[in-house]
Amino acid sequence: MGAGAGRCHGSPRGRGTGRERRSDWVSGLSLILPAHSLGFRSTLAVHSRLSPEWPLWVTLCLGAALAVDRSNFKTCEQSGFCRRQRRIQPGNSPYRALLESLELGPDVAKIQLVNEVTQVPLLLELWGLTGNVTRLRIQELAPLRPRFQVPDVLLGEPPAERLEVTGRDEGTLELSLGPGGHRLLVTERPFRLDLLRQRELLCSVNARGLLVFEHQRRRRDSDPPKDPPGEEGAAQEGPEDGAGSTQKPEEEPGMWEETFKTHTDSKPYGPTSVGLDFSLPGFEHVYGIPEHADNLRLRPTEGGDPYRLYNLDVFQYELFNPMALYGSVPLLLAHRPRLSLGIFWLNAAETWVDIGSNTAGKTLFGKLLDYMQGGGETPQTEVRWMSESGVIDVFLLLGPRPHDVTAQYGRLTGTQALPPLFSLGYHQSRWNYQDEADVEAVERGFEEHELPMDVLWLDIEHADGKRYFTWDPAKFPNPRRMLEHLAARKRRLVSIVDPHIKVDAGYRVHAELKARGLFVKTKDGNDYEGWCWPGSSAYPDFTNPEMREWWASMFAFDQYEGSTEALFTWNDMNEPSVFSGPEVTMHKDARHFGGWEHRELHNLYGLYVQRATAEGQIRRSGGRLRPFVLGRAFFAGSQRYGAVWTGDNTAEWDHLRISIPMCLSFGLAGLAFCGADVGGFFQNPGPELQVRWYQAGAFQPFFRAHAHLDTARREPWLLRPEHLQLVRAALRRRYALLPLWYTAFYRCHRQGIPVMRCGTPNTPNPPQKPQIYSKNPKSTPKTPPGIQHIPPGIVWHPKNPKSTSKTPNPPQKPTWDTAPQTLYVPVTLGTIPVFQRGGTVIPRQDRPRRSTEAMRGDPFTLYVALSPQGTAEGELYLDDGISFDYATKNQFLHRHFAFANGTLTSSSADPRGSMSTPAWLERVVILGMGRPERALLTTHDGSQTPLEFRHDPEHSVLTLRRPGVPIGEDWSISLR
């Protein structure tokens, strides 16, 4: 939930009408007509969400189309620093490396750079970090005032390797970066860096000469700006245009003041942007830098805007364009056969990323013709980063394998927090469930229709006048009783707590924060106020540790009245969203703790909100229980604090389809706990789209249905019985596979491996639009169906029996195909194309239950899909699902399953862990197995028991019945 209603003519929020676009997809043997025209719909309720203080004209702004108003958001040409940097042409770099200034410490090399036009000196620092990572940082040698360097994102100072000078001649310096065989060549004029592994060039820095570092200077026609008295970061005395300056650069309009629409940015410190280019020889495919509603593979940006990273509340965002959305992770990954690498640009200011390619525009036939003729260029991708302020701080993640890159990034910024198990179940939400009776009725509906569900959600209408940490006394008079009822049914509740605080002297939260001086300030030192859902709102300064400490304390049970351990939190609007602000966010010249301007740290704000909330949830349990917090805005490191989602999407087939590459991109950037609003936030989905979205959402990490206030109610049982049955099947499949999901999250938490991922990590030459994801069950939700790329080996998938009116979703038999090949999979509305790779073992819990907590102790079934060599392996991770005991007390089970030479074994994958559980092994299903003469179970104490089995010769499936061994013990099953 976010923007809610529409925008009109620059107003905070308007209203809109819209029509769902029809999309016909024909693929392979399937003809899918996914969208049905839903007609026109009028949204009249925008004023119901806003407090009475809102200006009347907001409710009268009618007729706007349900689509993003691009005029509310800047293009590169309208962003002064982006415009200035983009006008710089390659090949004329003014920067020279003063190699004679080299200072070589045990783990860092320092070299001065100089701009030969302005004579302003810069400092280049170089590190070779442990684990195949190179870091470079460029900053002013003698700035007029400190420049912002991003705090709280890195886990700490990364350990560095010893550097050595291994070569030197006139104009070039060679540094060894540690034992990994990486070398760095530093060229004097123009300044350039070339990173090599042995003799292979991996990456060049400033090869195109696009380094930009706008040094701090004093405005020629006025006195120097003054920082707020007593704050850190006050202006320091210095030369007129920076140390050693003898020539003043030209000044352009917008360098000292910039106006966008009706908003003026005072820019008291003038232009301070930075930029740098990176050349990636041999690379044609680049990914990452979320969030953008685009394909997984990033497109060249010549002739259009660069990709923008600037956290914004974008109403009804468009697809397939580089506009900024709610979150930003400045991490780009490149992949080619036998090598993957990443570029992590640690800067929290507004950032634009240009991508160029020497193969852009060439068709596949053209590339093939080049190859056959023995000509053509070696593919090369150019990446150019441009940020409004701060310093240049870059980490080059050198892989060489894809999972090495994600692990390297995880060691820098942290891995995805291990979520509580209930949060991997199904979440039911809308704006808004009206009152306690409505919540009880919805929960009862899931029970009566035998639909599993773990969490119900409450949007902003649950609070008293949109005063967060409160409850509407008329609609929710007894929240504790409501929460206890849900907990008794083994379910939970999430309430929204947004980071804008209603300006109201009688509201305790506002009064305390104002008295403590913990709100963001204007450039003049007053509390910054803007319009959001409560009306006039103030914004807590989450960059201040005292503010985060206070916010965390508010989640204590004696502070958040009516809360219990069954209540968790949703932080929406944390970009921050300011309806009356420029680009619907905070003014860049607002002031934060330490005197820093908002422009310096804008993209960090959402991370700090989610962090403070997560810390509050942990603290309320005495540090014992894991938190669950959903946030909309994010930055590098947000993965340590909870889940994210793709924002306010629309009930259209293209929005369902784009959720897959968006979440894949999130996962590559460390944000593994991602999902999209099932059914679409805006507009009403037709029954086929709603069913398909449940089927796709069941195979995304975060699984929540959510809808706008103006949409029709869409609880699953409101569908026709045949569609309800399909939704029930999708929900039950999600719950059956929860052991696999939880194990994947544990691997992600420990190793940084994305939970949802495409074929790239497992194939040397990935498809340009990879859509197969997850390690073991490879799901290709119908968005649309048809031709899929299959990696080498064997894949197992359901064989579709004929459906009838009496059995629209009949049981499916497994069948197998060898790969690689182009596989045509005919599907019906009742099937999900799910593939299990040969050579894997998947644990499942197949007994239907109402929630994850109700499944605790249920027996397991192992699905063993054999490889062409007759082998398979897999794993299972178990803990209590809610606490930190797995980390603090080693209370967990991590089991390894392996099949080879006709024997399936279970052994401990991590002997440090131990935990008692009543769960046991109920069945083993082996795919690709002939009929044995006997099956013999051997337990950990050596005792042996013959097992009953059933064999399906048509599909080569062997089912072993009731081995009955505890899931946490060692055992083996021999087939002879």
d(CA 218, CA 248) in angstroms, rounded, equals 11
Is 648 an active-site residue? yes
> Choosing from 354, 648, 677, 710, which is the catalytic residue?
648
Provide the token pair at 588: 């860049």
State which H helix or E strand residue 731 sits in: helix 721-736
d(CA 172, CA 70) in angstroms, rounded, equals 47
Q: Kindly state the DSSP code that residue 189 receives in the 8-state scheme.
A: T
Please give the backbone phi and psi of residue 540, each rounded to the nearest 5 degrees, phi first: -60, 145
Q: How many CB atoms lie within 10 A of CB 869?
A: 11
SS3 705: strand
SS3 747: helix
d(CA 707, CA 713) in angstroms, rounded, equals 8
d(CA 339, CA 203) in angstroms, rounded, equals 12
CB 453 within 8 A of CB 850: yes
Which of 379, 361, 389, 387 shows the shortest CA–CA distance to 301? 361
243 CB burial (10 A radius; 0-12, 13-18, 19+): middle
> Which residue matches tokens 């069954």?
566
Is 572 an active-site residue? yes
- Apex CA 800: angle with CA 861 and CA 855, to 5°? 25
SS3 746: helix
CB 196 within 8 A of CB 205: no
CB 212 within 8 A of CB 386: yes
> Choosing from 69, 459, 498, 572, which is the catalytic residue?
572
Cβ within 8 Å of residue 871, ≥6 positions away: 839, 898, 899, 900
Please give the backbone phi and psi of residue 536, each rounded to the nearest 5 degrees, phi first: -65, 125
CB 731 within 8 A of CB 698: yes
Say which amino acid occupies 498: D
- Apex CA 191: angle with CA 188 and CA 195, to 5°? 95
Provide the token pair at 442: 């919805």
CB 354 within 8 A of CB 660: no
d(CA 184, CA 716) in angstroms, rounded, equals 59
Pairing label, strands 903-908, 971-975: antiparallel
Per-residue burial over 10-47, b if 16 or more Cβ lie within 10 Å, else e, is ebbbbbbebebeebebebbebebebbeebeebebeebb
Q: How many CB atoms lie within 10 A of CB 143?
A: 18
Half-sphere exposure of 281 (CA within 13 A, CB side): 14
Q: Kindly state the DSSP code that residue 132 receives in the 8-state scheme.
A: T
Please give the backbone phi and psi of residue 134, each rounded to the nearest 5 degrees, phi first: -115, 135
Cβ within 8 Å of residue 150, ≥6 positions away: 346, 347, 348, 390, 393, 601, 604
Q: Kindly state the DSSP code that residue 228 receives in the 8-state scheme.
A: P
Torsion on CA atoms 436, 439, 441, 446, rounded to nearest 10:
-160
d(CA 782, CA 798) in angstroms, rounded, equals 14
d(CA 507, CA 655) in angstroms, rounded, equals 39
CB 705 within 8 A of CB 696: no
Backbone angle region of 274, left / alpha / beta, with phi > 0 → left and psi within -120 to 50 → alpha: beta
Provide the token pair at 700: 């995304």
**Helices and strands (DSSP H and E) totals, the chain:** 16, 54
What is the set of active-site residues? 572, 648
